Chain A
């Protein structure tokens, strides 16, 4: 019994900070359970959300999960910055600091950025391409629940069993059992394997959706830019995630079953882990940023009231970035010492990517040129992206130059660089997308004034946080050091950086307030087209009905909805009662949720080496597979009368 307690609650989970987190978690869970029970919401929750296969609802769940994870990852970030605010600080000990930067990085990449991207895919893509759902709706729900349970698994590590502490890259020998006993690292490995499965399925799903379910007439070169970037992101996912899964599983084998793939003491090759990780890791940064490029293309065109400048060069640039991104991964470990020829090759291929990216930047600027620019919050995030990303890209080229990299690597210069591109590219883009598409799924517009406050706080906080870090890197401050002494001259820059981080935190709080306030008091979007949009999603009412389109639109042009408006043909979205037919839609199912739960049980068993629990989880998975496979009752008909009522309520009935 006491050994079990020691396993579940090692010393790293019984520090004051963790114990107070325990109290908060218990209180919050109790409050949620009380609310659901008191207001009889359990059935509603199960029926409308946990079992849904509707892409719009799945998108909303991804969005909520991502914002929650942004809170967790952001809290980690503030703890790190608080520790570094002054020299010789002892708010966090060295091990505690290691744990927090590990969870900060892992959560921000895998459990914040990725789900927020999938939220955008789910919310926008089927509506944009004139489809009623994704190609595999139930698989879409499975992807979500695998992600959600993996995120849950990863997040309980710091209160039960101990947090992982080997950095988000988890290099051996830091992850070797001999040097890293305890279960923390197992949590990391299992969570990434499970969420990686979900991500791969999402990649397949959106690849097939975009290739095969576009509305009639929408050729590839008539697709909205966001559909293009989603398409190539899906391809990137398909090639990038298998190496990650392999690296994770082999590390897990080393830790659990005594193999020696990466265990150097027994002839293993840790450098191969580094190679595999970045085989995934480099395409991953393009997985993170390409969807944002797509969002900017939509937002900039819409709010400049102009068609996207250089559409076809945009497409070719995206394809070039996709292809080149597979030949650059060594720039994450130039200093491993792979030799001059290897480093020169990968250095040049890295710098080459700046060319198609630069083309895209100019295309956005030319799209705005002579446009009638409307300064909405979505547009402000897009505008803020351009200078921010240019700085991040330029420092990336500096890091891509091999001799320079030998000086900058592993310093705060690197930290500043990748936050500059990931926040400036991915996060700004996703925020732009959230403000842009929010009315389409919720039916209410986000308050612009609050949104601008959130934007300015976050944007200024960002510059304040990361610009000093470039200088700190030049001054010799290395990443992952938990404290520093007075004499280095780093103190004032670190203090400025910490102040910036808290300003960003304030921006986040205002943004969440904005979301909640707007959901209660926000302006209702009655037209379905609040921005005078260009693409098909704005031809539907807000929020879009379950079946999306009563009649699938026929596309004759790029920017299909804009073309319909120009040709005064917007009445095509209105349907005559006699033209309405029954619509077949996928039916809700509990299988995806239960499958996620099975994976969670299996993972807990693997983390703690409790094989019977792992076996039970695996059994649950097999049962879910069998039941799902032979479940032919997976469709439902929405009767014409119901569609007629819905359309008439939206005022979209002809005659």
Chain B
């Protein structure tokens, strides 16, 4: 059932050493018929999935049951969130499967800049509450 490495279903044509032939096969070989090199039962992915669920449930329970005062709760759910982000990036987002890390650094960097920018600016915008109330 888990025959991920089976290449027989898809024709994989090597790229001509003389550059593109124009037959388009190099495009197909890579992208229309991707194959991931992995054998056996996907334990890692199951671990990632269950781990993500547990981290989410832990965050939810921590908040619902008020296990700590507000500041402590914030720290706990932030730590859980960062842990889960790392888990998902590492296991499901193919962070470890690249042919080169340039694109990863650029896109992750952009993502982090925008995320921090949006969160930071939202906090700045919301400071008006202390001013008006």
Contact = CB atoms under 8 A, between A and B. Distances in A.
Given A635-B10, A635-B33, A336 B128 contact: yes
Interface in B18-49: 19-20, 22-28, 30-33
Interface of B: 1, 3, 6, 9-11, 19-20, 22-28, 30-33, 111, 114, 117-118, 121-122, 124-129, 131-132
B114 A553 contact: no
A557 to B, nearest CB: 15
A554 B23 CA distance: 9
Contacts, number: 85
Nearest to A547: B24
Contact of B125 (A239, A342, A579): A342
Contact of A342 (B30, B111, B128): B128
A565 interface: no
Interface of A: 130-133, 135, 212-213, 215-217, 239, 243, 269, 271-272, 275, 279, 326-327, 330, 336-339, 342, 549, 551-554, 572, 579, 581-582, 584-586, 630, 632, 635
Nearest to B19: A216
A212 B28 CA distance: 11
Contacts of A269: 126, 129
Main secondary structure of the interface of A (DSSP, over half): loop
A213 B31 contact: yes
Nearest to A235: B110
In the A-B complex, list the 7 residue pairs whose CB atoms are closest, starting with the nearest.
A552-B24, A216-B20, A554-B22, A338-B128, A338-B125, A339-B128, A275-B122
Contacts of B126: 269, 271-272, 275, 338
Nearest to A217: B20
30 contacts: A132-B24, A132-B28, A135-B31, A212-B31, A213-B31, A215-B24, A217-B20, A239-B111, A239-B114, A269-B126, A269-B129, A271-B126, A272-B122, A272-B126, A275-B122, A275-B126, A279-B118, A326-B118, A327-B117, A327-B121, A336-B128, A337-B128, A339-B127, A342-B125, A549-B24, A551-B24, A552-B27, A585-B32, A630-B1, A635-B32
A554 B125 contact: no
B129 A271 contact: yes
Nearest to B6: A632
B22 A632 contact: no
Contacts of A271: 126, 129
B124 A342 contact: yes
B2 to A, nearest CB: 9
Contacts of B22: 216, 551-554, 572
